Amino acid sequence: MSASSSCLFNLPLIRFRSLSISSRFLRLPPPSSSSLRSVSVPISPRKFRAFSSGTTAMTDAKDAGMDAVQRRLMFEDECILVDETDRVVGHDSKYNCHLMENIEAKNLLHRAFSVFLFNSNYELLLQQRSKAKVTFPLVWTNTCCSHPLYRESELIEENALGVRNAAQRKLLDELGIVAEDVPVDEFTALGRMLYKAPSDGKWGEHELDYLLFIVRDVKVEPNPDEVAEIKYVSREGLKELVRKADAGEEGLKLSPWFRLVVDNFLMKWWDHVEKGTLDEAIDMKTIHKL
C-alpha cells in the first residue's frame, strides 16, 4: 500500500447531523481540508429535556397533522421571553410559547415583530399565511410576522437592532427577499404593542410586538411552507379587504395582530409613509396594551 493511500485511513472522524432544509434556501461553501476535524457537541440538560418533551409532543395525536417544516421550527426555534416592560427574562421553544395552556397558566410572553413593507407606489405588501402554519393558518396579514430568536445577533437592544436583524432573516425565509433589498438600517421601528389572541383550542399568541416599517421595491419569491399567496394593496384595497373580513365574505380572515394595527395605527402611519416623515411617528417609549 502506498503512503498516499494509507493516509486515507488516518483522516479524522467527522460526525454529521441530518438537516431538513430546502436546497433553495441553503448555500454551503465547498469544504476545505483544513476545516475537517472531529467535533463533539455536548447537549445541555435543558436542551435534552426540550428534545425529550418535544418527541413526546410530536407523538401526540393532536400534533399528528403538523407539517414537518413547521414541526422542526416549533421545537428548534427558541423565542425570547420578556415581561410586560420588554425586559428579557428567559427563553423557551416556539412550541411552548404558543401553547394556550402555558400562556394562560404561566403568562408566557415573547418578543415578536411585524413588518410592513411598502413599494415606491406606497402600496402595502400583504401575505396569506400558509395552510401548514400551526397558528392562524390561511389568514391574511401584514408583510411578515415572526420572532427574534434567543441568539446574540437578535438580542441586541440598541435601536431595536436585534429585532431588525430578525426581520431581515425572516423576509428571506418567508418571501425570498434577499438581505441586499432590505438593509437593516432601512427599517423604522415605529412602536410596540402587547396583545394576546387564541388561535384555536390549543394554540395562541401572547406577544410584545415591534412594528417595523420599510419602503423598498423588492423581488418576492414566497416560500410555500410559509406563505400561500401575496398581494400589494392600496389604502382603498385594504379597506375593501377589511370590509370583506367583517362581512365574512369569501371566507376571508385577518390576523388579530394585523387587525389591531389597522384599527389603531396604520392609516395615520401610512400618511407618514407617503410624505417621507416616518421618523415623526416614532414612539418606542410606549408599549400599547391592546
Those residues with Cβ within 8 angstroms of residue 110's Cβ, 6 or more apart along the chain or in another chain: 79, 80, 81, 82, 92, 97, 147, 206, 207, 208
Separation of alpha carbons 215 and 119, rounded Å: 6
Please tell me the distance from the alpha carbon of residue 290 to that of residue 18, in angstroms, as a whole number.
Answer: 42
Q: Which helix (H) or strand (E) covers residue 242, if one does?
A: helix 235-247
- Which residues are annotated as catalytic? 145, 207
Residue 232 DSSP code: E
CA-CA distances (angstroms) from residue 233 to 31, 122, 239, 240, 245?
Answer: 45, 9, 9, 10, 15
Residue 290 CB burial class (10 angstroms; 0-12, 13-18, ≥19): middle
Q: Is 199 helix (H, G, I), strand (E, B) or coil?
A: coil
Instruction: Please state, as a whole number, how many other Cβ atoms lie within 10 Å of the Cβ of residue 49.
Output: 10
Note whether 252 and 205 are within 8 A (CB). Answer: no
Backbone angles phi, psi at 245, to 5 degrees: -65, -45
